[in-house]
Chains A and B, each alone.
Chain A
Amino acid sequence: MPEPILSIRDLAVEFSTDDGVVHAVDGITYDVFPGETLGIVGESGSGKSVSTLSILGLIPIPPGRIVSGEAYFKGRDMLKLSKRELRALRGGEVAMVFQDPMTSLNPVLKVGFQLGEAIKTHHPKEKSDAIKKRVIDLLRLVGVPNPETRYSQFPHEFSGGMRQRAMIAMSIANSPSLLIADEPTTALDVTIQAQVLEVMKRVQAETQAATILITHDLGIVAEMCDRVLVMYAGRIVESGDVTTIFHKPRHPYTIGLMDSLPRLTEDEEWLRPIPGQPPSLINRPSGCAFHPRCFISQGRARCREEIPALRPVEGDAHASACHFAEELSEQPTRFAESVGGAA
């Protein structure tokens, strides 16, 4: 097994609010291996963004607080780095693509200048000719037409898809070995989404960067990812490679997520949501946080009382945090049926 490029161990992040302490991320552990794409899925507020932003030092402290954990990137614990060291890492070896390209580019600075800034930050001695050339190459790589012209245009002259391409270009400007994409397509419409995902794939092939793809879109996960983490209420509830998760989900939440997807092959009147509400992260349900909404718990006391650990099911690569994961083995999901062998 190759050495993981990023190892997160027991990371917990809290936010103090007026209403109490929000346990945004509560003891998660995962690895990212070189060159792979790891998807992190979950509802809003499940802690998927915070789990990555916090290791880059991008959450506001206070009110945020990293309670415990380690995050080894190439052997160094990112949580113990000085501000200066962390800054050198950000945008260099570890880069981010943000959700909303409409607001992530500075409206008063030319796009080329902003991309150049990203390079200059990490290579202060680089000549401006060389930087310009590199920026134009980057724009061309992400499929921005006429990069020479686009170089000296402002963000408002770019369409949404073009802006996200520019953002991706910015994130790979310093050849990162880890790319964190926080819902990179959520703000884009579907046709543009597909193009941007294409670009991301291409960029990944080009740079060989490991990618963490944070999303709530299972379709994107199926399309892009090698492995998946499913998060619920600040914890990882299921992890495994993408085919396994889609075909043999072993956590009722994952199954619920997949069942809630509308299918195009049938004429459906109603969507099938997961009953209930996402839990409050201040006052989490006891035991398994999902038990009030769970269809296999059936009021069993163990679900209410004991916090389930993430444990291997059916092979080492697949893990589920459900006390009764084995009961799910004979339950085919509607999603698996509809995609058939395609995934």
Chain B
Amino acid sequence: MTEIDRRPDSDVDGLAPEGAMTGGLMLGGEAAIDSTVAAGLEVKVRSQWAYARKRFVRHRLAMASLVVLTFFVLVAIFANQLAPYSYLQFDLTDLLHPPTTAGHHFFGTDDIGRDYFSGCILGIRTSLEIGASVALLSTIVGLLVGAAAGYFGGWIDNLLMRITDLVLTLPALAILLVVAALLGQGPWWRVTLILAGFFWTGLSRIVRGLFLSLREKEYVEAAKASGSGNSRIMFRHILPNTLGPIIVNGTLAVATAILTEAALSFLGFGIKATTPSLGKLVSSGQSAPEAWWLTVFPGVIIVLIVLCINFIGDGLRDALDPTQRRVRA
């Protein structure tokens, strides 16, 4: 994610001989003491990311959620291998069968005889795909807009923030419905694009605020004084200081995107009929109210996934931003 993580930790061995060798060149007492300390006992040094990782691992709920979410992600990745049936395969002799182990219909079948277990597995993939890509896209857009607004200020800031305000005032769901009604159901990436088009605003405001305060820091002035250009300062010097909130926000955006997609699909818009999504599966339960499994299974899965992501987001917030910690010491 950042440069920091990739820097090689080379040359850590060879401490003692190096200290002894440079000792002759040292100036003053501090230097001499420093080198003896470094040569004598090695203190384990942790980076900020190492501390963050430690705090996150201690966050039990977040860790448990991470395990559950990893499970769902694996299911999504291996959906084709795991699903016993294809989503297009239907068996008109076996409609609305309740959950059973017979014929691997663990979640039963729907009103046209499709295997609901397979539907859910494929639905998880679609929902996670949409959630992740909406989060990624909206994070990139929000980041660029917020960074430019906060860093340059002036009319650029005004223009970008007024556009952001405008997008924020638009009733997202209503517009999504109109667009969906006009264009009909489409491939998953179209829903993604539309959702991302609304989701970047929150992050852009957060990032703008961060850049606004960080651009006044002395290390930014120092970078300027050493000849760095604007983009270098923005992305090499300021951006790494804002990653915490950006990661947290991006994580939570995945959950919101999954929920919004589910809502859209539930209302009958969104992605095309041949691709199952969790929201669409829930809505298909409407056609047969007595078949409880049609709503319960995909519904529970949505709740589980969204809960997990939110808990992970909380854990990340606590880990990456200790000043805003809400939970325990």
Contacts and interface: CB of A to CB of B under 8 A. Distances in A.
B60 interface: no
Interface in A278-321: none
Contact of A162 (B18, B34, B223): B34
A112 interface: yes
B31 A106 contact: no
B41 interface: no
Interface in B1-55: 2-4, 7-12, 14-15, 18-19, 22-23, 25-32, 34-35, 38-39, 45, 47-48
Contacts of A202: 27
A104 B28 contact: no
B19 A90 contact: no
B34 A90 contact: no
Contact of A121 (B8, B14, B232): B232
B224 interface: yes
A98 interface: yes
Given A110-B4, A145-B38, A91 B227 contact: yes
B166 interface: no
Nearest to A194: B28
Highest count of chain A CB atoms <10 Å: which of B22, B29, B219, B236:
B219
A243 B3 CA distance: 50
B9 A143 contact: no
Contact of A108 (B31, B39, B48): B48
Contacts of B14: 148
B327 interface: no
Interface stretch (A19-27, A150-158, A229-237, A333-341): A150-158
B225 interface: yes
Nearest to A103: B218
B190 interface: no
A205 interface: no
Contacts of B7: 110, 112-113, 152
A171 interface: yes
A67 to B, nearest CB: 22
Interface string A106-127: 1111101100011001100000
B27 A56 contact: no
B228 A106 contact: no
Contacts of A89: 227
Contacts, number: 145
Given A56-B225, A154-B47, A171-B226, A143 B26 contact: yes
B237 interface: yes
Contacts of B27: 143, 195, 198-199, 202
Given A110-B7, A113-B4, A146 B15 contact: yes
B38 A149 contact: yes
A175 to B, nearest CB: 13
Interface residues of B, number: 48
A162 B27 CA distance: 11
B16 to A, nearest CB: 9
Contacts of A153: 45
Contacts of A105: 219, 222
Nearest to A88: B227
A167 B240 CA distance: 20
A247 interface: no
Contacts of A161: 30
B130 to A, nearest CB: 32
Contacts of A148: 11-12, 14, 18
A100 B218 contact: yes
A173 B222 CA distance: 13
A87 interface: yes
A81 interface: no
Nearest to B35: A145
B227 A154 contact: no
Interface string B207-229: 00000000001110111111111
B227 A145 contact: no
Interface string B263-302: 0000000000000000000000000000000000000000
B241 interface: yes
B287 to A, nearest CB: 54
A108 B45 contact: no
Contact of B30 (A87, A108, A195): A195
A195 B27 CA distance: 7
B25 A140 contact: yes
Contact of A157 (B19, B45, B217, B240): B45
A117 B229 CA distance: 11
B226 A95 contact: yes
A96 interface: yes
Contacts of B228: 87, 91, 117, 121
Contacts of A121: 226-229, 232
Contact of B227 (A87, A162, A195): A87
Given A108-B240, A152-B12, A154-B48, A143 B225 contact: no
A149 B8 CA distance: 11
Contacts of B227: 87-92, 118, 121-122
A109 B22 contact: no
Nearest to A105: B219
13 contacts: A87-B227, A90-B224, A96-B222, A96-B225, A98-B221, A104-B221, A106-B241, A107-B48, A117-B226, A145-B26, A146-B39, A154-B48, A199-B27
Interface of A: 56, 58, 87-92, 95-96, 98, 100, 103-110, 112-113, 117-118, 121-122, 140, 143-149, 151-154, 157, 159, 161-162, 167, 170-171, 173, 191-192, 194-195, 198-199, 202
Interface of B: 2-4, 7-12, 14-15, 18-19, 22-23, 25-32, 34-35, 38-39, 45, 47-48, 217-219, 221-229, 232, 236-237, 240-241, 243
Given A105-B219, A118-B227, A167-B222, 10 more contacts: A90-B227, A98-B225, A104-B218, A106-B219, A146-B18, A146-B38, A148-B18, A152-B9, A162-B30, A191-B29
